[in-house]
Structure 1
Amino acid sequence: MKFAYRFSNLLGTVYRHGNLSFSKDGNSVISPVGNRISVFDLKNNKSETLPVSTTKNITSVGLSPDGNLAILVDEDGAALLVSVVTRAVLHHYHFHKPVHSVRFSPDGRKFVVTKENVALMYHAPGRKREFNAFALDKSYYGPYDETTCIDWTDDSKCFVVGSKDMTTWVFGAERWVNLVYYCLGGHKDVIVGCFFEQDSLDLYTVSQDGTLCVWECDTELDGLVPRGPKEQSKAQEKGPQTEGGEEEEEERGAGEEGEPQGEVIRGKADENRQQEGTKIVRYRRRGKHFFNKEGDFNNLTAAAFHKKTHLLVTGFASGIFHLHELPEFSLIHSLSISDQRIASISINSTGDWIGFGCSGLGQLLVWEWQSESYVFKQQGHFNNMATLSYSPDGQYIATGGDDGKVKVWNTNSGLCFVTFSEHTSCITGVAFTSSGFVIVSASLDGTVRAFDLHRYRNFRTFTSPRPAQFSCLALDCSGELVSAGAQDSFEIFLWSMQTGRLLEVLAGHEGPVSCLSFSPVQSVLASASWDRTVKLWDMLDSWQTKETLRLTSDGLAVTYRPDGQELAVATLDGEISFWNPQTAAQTGSIVGRHDLQMGRKETDKITAKQAAKGKSFTSLCYSADGQCILAGGQSKFVCIYNVSEQILMKKFEISCNLSLDAMEEYLDRRKMTEFGSLALLDEGVGDGDTVALSLPGVKKGDMSSRHFKPEIRVSSLSFSPTGRSWAATSTEGLLVYSLDGALVFDPFDLDLDVTPSSVRRQLRQAEWAAAIVLAFRLNENALTKEVLETVPHDQISVVCGSLPDVYVEKLLRFVASTLESSGHLQFYLTWAQRLLTLHGQKLKSRSGAILPIIQSLQKSIQRHFEDLSKLCDWNIYTIRYAAALSKQRGLKRTADDSLSEEGEGSEGSDMESEASVEETNMLT
Structure 2
Amino acid sequence: MKFAYRFSNLLGAVYRQGNLNFSKDGNAVISPVGNRISIFDLKNNTSETLPVSTTKNIRCVGLSPDGNLAIVVDEDGAALLVSLITRAVLHHFHFHKPVNSICFSPDGRKFVVTKENVALMYHAPGKQREFNAFVLDKSYYGPYDETTCIDWTDDSKCFVVGSKDMSTWVFGAERWANLIYYSLGGHKDVIVGCFFEKDSLDLYTVSQDGTLCVWESDTELDGLVLKKSQNKPKSLRQEEEEDEEEEERMEGQEGEVIRGKAEAPKEKKTKNVRYKQRSKHFFNKEGDFNNLTAAAYHKSTHILVTGFASGIFHLHELPEFNLIHSLSISDQRITSVAINSSGDWIGFGCSGMGQLLVWEWQSESYVFKQQGHFNNMASLAYSPDGQYIVTGGDDGKVKVWNTNSGLCFVTFTEHTSSITNVTFTSSGFVVVSASLDGTLRAFDLHRYRNFRTFTSPRPAQFSSLAVDVSGELVSAGAQDSFEIFLWSMQTGRLLEVLGGHEGPVSCLCFSPVQSILASTSWDRTVRLWDMLNSWQVKETLPLTSDGLYVTYRPDGQELAVGTLNGEISFWNPNTATQTGSVAGRHDLEMGRKETDKITAKQSAKGKSFTSLCYSADGESILAGGQSKFVCIYNVKEQMLMKKFEISCNLSFDAMEEFLDRRKMTEFGSLALVDEGAGDGDGVNISLPGVRRGDLSSRHFKPEIRVSSLRFSPTGRSWAATTTEGLLVYSLDGSLVFDPYDLDLDVTPGSIRKQLRLQEWASAIVLAFRLNEKALKQEVLETVPHEQIPVVCGSLPDIYVEKLLGFVATCLEKSSHLQFYMTWAQNLLMLHGQKLKNRSGAILPTLQALQKSIQRHFDNLSKLCDFNMYNIRYTVALSKQRGIKRAAEEDKEGEEDEEDEEDLSDEMSEASLEDAEMLL
1:414-563 equivalent positions in 2, closer than 5 A:
414-563=406-555
Q: 1:679 to 1:742 in 2, by over 3 A?
A: same
1:724-763 equivalent positions in 2, closer than 5 A:
724-751=716-743, 753-763=745-755
Which residue of 2 is the match for residue 143 of structure 1? 143
What is the CA distance between 1:695 and its match in structure 2?
2.8
* Partner amino acid, structure 1, of 2:717: S
Contact 1:104 1:110 in 2 (8 A): yes
What is the CA distance between 1:767 and its match in structure 2?
2.2
More displaced 10-residue stretch of structure 1: 854-863 or 298-307: 854-863
Which residue of 1 is the match for residue 786 of structure 2? 794
Which residue of 1 is the match for residue 624 of structure 2? 632
* Partner amino acid, structure 2, of 1:416: C
Decide which of 549, 552, 565 is 2:557's aligned counterpart: 565
Contact 2:14 2:38 in 1 (8 A): yes
Residue 384 (str. 1) matches residue 384 (str. 2): no
Which residue of 2 is the match for residue 254 of structure 1? none
Distance of 1:217 and 1:756 partners within structure 2: 69
Q: 1:69 to 1:543 in 2, by over 3 A?
A: same
Decide which of 281, 292, 305 is 1:300's aligned counterpart: 292
Q: 1:692 to 1:178 in 2, by over 3 A?
A: closer
Contact 1:619 1:717 in 2 (8 A): yes
Which residue of 2 is the match for residue 119 of structure 1? 119
The unaligned stretches of length 5 or more in structure 1 are 237-272, 888-909, 919-924
Secondary structure, in 3 states, of the residue corresponding to 2:590? coil
Which residue of 2 is the match for residue 603 of structure 1? 595
TM-score (norm 1): 0.89
Distance of 1:580 and 1:647 partners within structure 2: 19
Secondary structure, in 3 states, of the residue corresponding to 1:609? helix
* Partner amino acid, structure 2, of 1:525: L
What is the CA distance between 1:300 and its match in structure 2?
0.3
Residue 650 (str. 1) matches residue 642 (str. 2): yes
Distance of 2:867 and 2:97 partners within structure 1: 61
Contact 2:652 2:702 in 1 (8 A): yes
* Partner amino acid, structure 1, of 2:469: C
Per-residue Cα deviation, 1:873-903 (whole angstroms, up to 9, x for no partner): 444466689999999xxxxxxxxxxxxxxxx
Distance of 2:876 and 2:609 partners within structure 1: 66
Which residue of 2 is the match for residue 186 of structure 1? 186
What is the CA distance between 1:785 and its match in structure 2?
1.8
Q: 1:147 to 1:235 in 2, by over 3 A?
A: farther
Secondary structure, in 3 states, of the residue corresponding to 1:403? coil
Secondary structure, in 3 states, of the residue corresponding to 2:443? strand
What is the CA distance between 1:130 and its match in structure 2?
3.5
Residue 693 (str. 1) matches residue 695 (str. 2): no
Which residue of 1 is the match for residue 358 of structure 2? 366
Contact 1:302 1:345 in 2 (8 A): yes
Residue 199 (str. 1) matches residue 199 (str. 2): yes
Distance of 1:235 and 1:125 partners within structure 2: 23
Contact 1:700 1:711 in 2 (8 A): no
What is the CA distance between 1:681 and its match in structure 2?
5.4
Contact 1:383 1:403 in 2 (8 A): yes
What is the CA distance between 1:801 and its match in structure 2?
1.7
Distance of 1:301 and 1:881 partners within structure 2: 49
Distance of 2:851 and 2:232 partners within structure 1: 75
Which residue of 2 is the match for residue 835 of structure 1? 827
Which residue of 1 is the match for residue 64 of structure 2? 64
Residue 844 (str. 1) matches residue 836 (str. 2): yes
Distance of 1:727 and 1:638 partners within structure 2: 11
Which residue of 2 is the match for residue 921 of structure 1? none
Per-residue Cα deviation, 1:120-152 (whole angstroms, up to 9, x for no partner): 000001256531111100000000000000000
1:330-349 equivalent positions in 2, closer than 5 A:
330-349=322-341
Distance of 2:746 and 2:302 partners within structure 1: 63
Which residue of 1 is the match for residue 85 of structure 2? 85
What is the CA distance between 1:826 and its match in structure 2?
1.7
* Partner amino acid, structure 2, of 1:346: A
Which residue of 2 is the match for residue 22 of structure 1? 22
Which residue of 2 is the match for residue 130 of structure 1? 130
Secondary structure, in 3 states, of the residue corresponding to 2:754? helix
Per-residue Cα deviation, 1:2-32 (whole angstroms, up to 9, x for no partner): 1000000000000000000000000000000
What is the CA distance between 1:872 and its match in structure 2?
3.3
Q: 1:886 to 1:792 in 2, by over 3 A?
A: farther
CA RMSD of aligned residues (A): 2.7
Distance of 1:870 and 1:211 partners within structure 2: 49
Distance of 1:861 and 1:499 partners within structure 2: 33
Distance of 1:235 and 1:417 partners within structure 2: 61
* Partner amino acid, structure 2, of 1:21: N
What is the CA distance between 1:821 and its match in structure 2?
1.4
More displaced 10-residue stretch of structure 1: 803-812 or 397-406: 803-812
More displaced 10-residue stretch of structure 1: 859-868 or 56-65: 859-868
Distance of 2:878 and 2:675 partners within structure 1: 88
Distance of 1:20 and 1:90 partners within structure 2: 22
Distance of 1:697 and 1:186 partners within structure 2: 51
Per-residue Cα deviation, 1:560-587 (whole angstroms, up to 9, x for no partner): 1110001111111111111111111111
Contact 1:694 1:702 in 2 (8 A): no
More displaced 10-residue stretch of structure 1: 426-435 or 820-829: 820-829
Q: 1:547 to 1:129 in 2, by over 3 A?
A: closer
Which residue of 2 is the match for residue 900 of structure 1? none
TM-score (norm 2): 0.90
What is the CA distance between 1:380 and its match in structure 2?
0.4
Distance of 1:55 and 1:134 partners within structure 2: 20
Distance of 1:865 and 1:353 partners within structure 2: 32
Contact 2:683 2:698 in 1 (8 A): no
The unaligned stretches of length 5 or more in structure 2 are 235-264, 880-884, 894-919
Distance of 2:3 and 2:103 partners within structure 1: 41
Per-residue Cα deviation, 1:698-732 (whole angstroms, up to 9, x for no partner): 33366352211100010001111111100000001
* Partner amino acid, structure 2, of 1:80: L
Which residue of 2 is the match for residue 268 of structure 1? none
Per-residue Cα deviation, 1:67-90 (whole angstroms, up to 9, x for no partner): 111111000101111111111111
What is the CA distance between 1:234 and its match in structure 2?
11
Distance of 1:211 and 1:129 partners within structure 2: 45
Distance of 1:411 and 1:684 partners within structure 2: 43
Contact 1:701 1:710 in 2 (8 A): no
Distance of 1:684 and 1:393 partners within structure 2: 51
What is the CA distance between 1:822 and its match in structure 2?
1.6
Contact 1:570 1:617 in 2 (8 A): yes
Per-residue Cα deviation, 1:141-169 (whole angstroms, up to 9, x for no partner): 00000000000011111100000011111
Aligned length: 857
Q: 1:769 to 1:683 in 2, by over 3 A?
A: closer
Distance of 1:470 and 1:701 partners within structure 2: 18
Distance of 2:744 and 2:105 partners within structure 1: 53
* Partner amino acid, structure 2, of 1:133: A
Per-residue Cα deviation, 1:104-129 (whole angstroms, up to 9, x for no partner): 01111010000000000000012565
Contact 1:694 1:701 in 2 (8 A): no
What is the CA distance between 1:335 and its match in structure 2?
0.3
Q: 1:630 to 1:465 in 2, by over 3 A?
A: same
Which residue of 1 is the match for residue 911 of structure 2? none
What is the CA distance between 1:233 and its match in structure 2?
5.2
1:583-602 equivalent positions in 2, closer than 5 A:
583-602=575-594
